[in-house]
A and B are shown apart, each in its own frame.
Chain A
Amino acid sequence: MDAVTDNLALFVEGYLTSLRIILVALVGSLALGLVIAMCRVSPVPPLQKFGTFWVTTFRNTPLSVVLFACAFGLPELGINRTFFFFGVLGLVLYTSAFVCEAIRAGINSVPAGQAEAARSIGLNFTQGLRFVVLPQALRTVVPPLGSVVIAMMKNSAVVGAFGVGGDLWSTGATLTSARGYETLPVFVGVAIGYLCITLPAGALLQVIERRVAIAR
């Protein structure tokens, strides 16, 4: 494991870069996914159609294609940003479709009578969702949303491969190809790095699940 211990500083740097991609993408995809889910369940047909279109597009396109379109397609349209921006943008767009569907499953699990009661005391659509439906949907949403989030964390490696650089995956790639370290130990190190992100995330999800289960 010399490959890892010799380059520990590089690995730590890679870990922190991955974490940065993940945190920005987490906030972005949760927020965007929630908005798209609200569109899909809204009573306004154009919004429903837009939501369905969004989910169909990004759920059915490979992540690498979405990233390619962002990183190399958007600059052709005159949008110039850093690779970090494009990489995270692609990951957010892609993940938002899955977040949307997990949230929508939760919304559908809340009995229709709850939304009817909310409407009948004069709450509008957004208030009904915010104060009545979503808090109850949260309980069922945590496990599937957790899977989506963890998948996103691992997908951040693809973002790294698309030129963001400096993240865990790219660190491994650099060490093996440019500096000639053996592949196996380096990528065991990389895998451990990802585990150091996903395992705590999984534990945190369990805590959240327990919290929202009691809150009723």
Chain B
Amino acid sequence: MTSRTAGEPLVRLSGVDKWFGQLHVLQDIDLSIDRGEVVVVIGPSGSGKSTLCRTINRLEPIDSGEITIDGQRLPEEGKELARLRADVGMVFQSFNLFAHKTVLENVTLGPVKVRKLSKGDAERRARELLDRVGVGSQADKYPAQLSGGQQQRVAIARALAMDPKVMLFDEPTSALDPEMINEVLDVMTSLARDGMTMVVVTHEMGFARRAANRVVFMDGGRIVESADPETFFTRPTSDRAKDFLSKILTH
């Protein structure tokens, strides 16, 4: 596994609360993620794991508590927030590639408009990244012409093009046909090996075992358990986690 640099955590959530109307979706969340660490968040649906992931780049604002990234508190809105989001890569369940732009344009838009790279430099780097995730030959197609697995790999390349400090994955394989899941997980595993800091919300237990440094188990808006994968999958301490694992690992 990757060596972690000492010092303050890269991402820190402390006392985070969030409500959707009457529903208390995040309850007093404390979570620290070190540089180079891969944290996999699992839990039943409705447990708040996606919301947690989305608060880290403030796609979901929080009601109380504090989130810092690289020591900097998440700004409320405006330019500061945009700058911070540029440093936080996000991969969505439904890919969300820009439908009116080619694969190459999807990957170069951020670098050109936000990082102010020249078009040539951005395209060179985009092609490298597309090759790295295995879709280099699709650069001039539109997203709708690609399979789900290919689209999600383009989405990963789009996020990587911003040279993010941390990558957030919000159920990246949940919308994929079974035979396409592995091609996306392989890319994510290689990213993890290269030392990328990652927060991954997923139902893929194999990926959690293989690539995670830590598994965070959520239920009812709380972090119920947090442990290394080996410990979590073989000796879970909470009844809720035992129950959850017995339901998903038996078949």
Chain A residues in contact with chain B, CB under 8 A? 43, 111, 113-114, 116-124, 127, 131-132, 135-136, 215-216
Contact = CB atoms under 8 A, between A and B. Distances in A.
A114 B59 contact: no
B113 A127 contact: yes
A131 B59 contact: no
Contacts of B144: 216
A114 B85 CA distance: 15
Given A113-B94, A122-B162, 7 more contacts: A116-B90, A120-B59, A121-B85, A121-B110, A123-B82, A124-B82, A132-B109
Contacts of B100: 135-136, 215-216
Contact of A132 (B57, B88, B98): B98
B110 A114 contact: no
Nearest to B85: A122
A121 B92 contact: no
Given A114-B98, A127-B113, A216-B99, A121 B159 contact: yes
A122 B96 CA distance: 15
Contact of A131 (B77, B89, B109): B109
Interface string B133-157: 0000000001010000000000100
A131 B113 contact: yes
A209 B15 CA distance: 51
Contacts of B57: 120
Contacts of B87: 122
Contacts of B77: 43
B159 A114 contact: no
B109 A121 contact: yes
A215 B142 CA distance: 10
Contacts of B162: 121-122
A162 B155 CA distance: 56
Interface residues of B, number: 30
Contacts, number: 68
Query: Which 9 pairs show the lowest CB-CB distances between chains A and B?
Result: A122-B86, A121-B110, A120-B90, A117-B96, A113-B96, A122-B114, A124-B82, A122-B85, A216-B100
A74 B169 CA distance: 57
- Which of A43, A111, A216: most chain B CB closer than 10 A? A216
Contact of B92 (A113, A132, A216): A113
- Which of A122, A123, A127, A216: most chain B CB closer than 10 A? A122
B7 interface: no
Contact of A114 (B90, B96, B113): B96
- Which of B59, B88, B89, B98: most chain A CB closer than 10 A? B98
B109 A124 contact: no
Nearest to A135: B100
A3 B149 CA distance: 70
Contacts of A122: 82-83, 85-87, 110, 114, 162
B97 interface: yes
A137 to B, nearest CB: 10
A69 B11 CA distance: 57
A117 B85 contact: no
Contacts of B90: 116-117, 120
A119 B85 contact: yes
Interface in B2-43: none
B88 A120 contact: yes
B58 to A, nearest CB: 9
- Which of B79, B97, B109: most chain A CB closer than 10 A? B109
B144 to A, nearest CB: 8
B59 A119 contact: yes
A114 B159 CA distance: 14
Contact of B114 (A113, A121, A135, A136): A121
Nearest to B91: A120
B83 A116 contact: no
B211 to A, nearest CB: 22
Contacts of A135: 100
A215 B158 CA distance: 21
